[in-house]
């Protein structure tokens, strides 16, 4: 049995992860973390499912990580980095689904991965990671005469934009085209912007309601367009992908891995 701890265990995604671990035949819930002051602290992590796991939600990292092999973290960048440091000190592997990291923060994650196994992915969905591979193929084939726009939509509570998944899609396309996403990305348009620069990759962001995650990459040519989309209708897809990542890390040597590694899709 793989002993898994969940960070942010009382949140929407955290509860989905707790439930996935509880139902998995090869995993057991070893710890449940929440930030100080969270009303769920002290409660059994699966009480809301009508079952007792014997694992209480805690803000004490020493307790929450005491018997853990892999931590799954979908919190905020600062919290994730604090959890990562604690896991590095204890030799615990980490699956990171948190988004919104700065380049400096990503460097900290890479440094920690010298000592522990880390899977870092902006989206743990199997379908999204297949789409990233399809985008590489499409971009190479549609490299002339097509404008590229990425549209993403998420719930009103999401705090970063564009989404990490949209940025990963943009990076996949830019890499296939031999471009630098930092140099060619356009993150918003307003007023008189002039004609579209064909070398750019545009991003549009929608926030509202309870949208879990919709992403579309549009290749718009003259007389035709190609759209590659992924729509998530349940957070369960992220939870199941995270468990695949946790299984991948169990017993694996230190290193920084992606979902392409987990799914055997090859380097991207």
pLDDT, position 193: 94
CA distances from 63 to 14, 34, 60, 123, 220 (A): 18, 12, 5, 28, 53
Active site (annotated) includes residue 22:
no
Q: Using H for helix, E for strand and C for coil, what is the string for 154-169?
A: ECCCCCCCCCHHHHHH
The whole-number pLDDT of residue 187 equals 97
157 given a catalytic annotation:
no
Does the 2-120+235-263 domain belong in CATH 3.40.50.720?
yes
Question: 151-173 pLDDT, tens per residue?
Answer: 999 999 999 999 999 999 999 99
CATH code linked to domain 126-232: 3.30.360.10
Q: What is the band of 268 on the pLDDT scale with cuts at 50, 70, 90? A: low
Catalytic residue among 22, 35, 83, 154: 154
Residue spans of the domains in the chain: they are 2-120+235-263, 126-232
The pTM (predicted TM-score) of the whole model is: 0.84
Mean pLDDT computed over 41-61: 95
CA angle 84, 88, 89 (to 5 degrees): 120
pLDDT per residue as tens digits for the range 200-241? 999 999 999 999 999 999 999 999 999 999 999 998 999 999
Give me the pLDDT at residue 122, please: 86
Bridge partners (DSSP) of residue 32 are 6, 57
pLDDT value for 267 = 58
- 102-120 average pLDDT score: 97
Kindly name the residue from 35, 106, 155, 158 that is annotated as catalytic. 158
Q: Supply the pLDDT for residue 251.
A: 85
């Amino acid at each position: 049995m793989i002993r898994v701890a969940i960070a942010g265990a009382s949140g929407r995604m955290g509860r989905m992860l707790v439930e996935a671990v509880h139902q998995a035949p090869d995993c057991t819930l070893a710890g449940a973390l929440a930030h100080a002051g969270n009303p769920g602290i002290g409660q059994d992590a699966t009480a809301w499912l009508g079952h007792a796991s014997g694992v209480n939600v805690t803000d004490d990292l020493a307790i929450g990580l005491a018997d853990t092999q892999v931590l799954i973290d979908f919190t905020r960048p600062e919290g994730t980095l604090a959890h990562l440091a604690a896991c590095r000190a204890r030799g615990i592997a980490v699956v990171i689904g948190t988004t919104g990291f700065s380049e400096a923060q990503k460097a900290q994650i890479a440094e920690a991965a010298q000592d522990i196994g880390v899977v870092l992915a902006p989206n743990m969905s199997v379908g999204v990671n297949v789409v990233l591979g399809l985008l590489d193929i499409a971009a190479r084939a549609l490299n002339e005469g097509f404008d590229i726009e990425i549209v993403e939509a998420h719930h009103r509570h999401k705090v970063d934009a564009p989404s990490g998944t949209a940025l990963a899609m943009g990076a996949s396309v830019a890499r296939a085209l031999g471009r630098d996403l930092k140099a060619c990305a356009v993150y918003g348009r307003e007023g008189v912007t002039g004609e579209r620069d064909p070398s750019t990759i545009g991003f549009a962001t929608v926030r509202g309601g309870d949208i879990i995650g919709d992403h579309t990459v549009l290749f718009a040519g003259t007389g035709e367009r190609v759209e590659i989309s992924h729509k998530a209708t349940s957070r369960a897809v992220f939870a199941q992908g995270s468990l695949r990542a946790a299984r991948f890390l169990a017993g694996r040597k230190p290193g920084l891995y992606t979902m392409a590694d987990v799914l055997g899709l090859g380097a991207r």
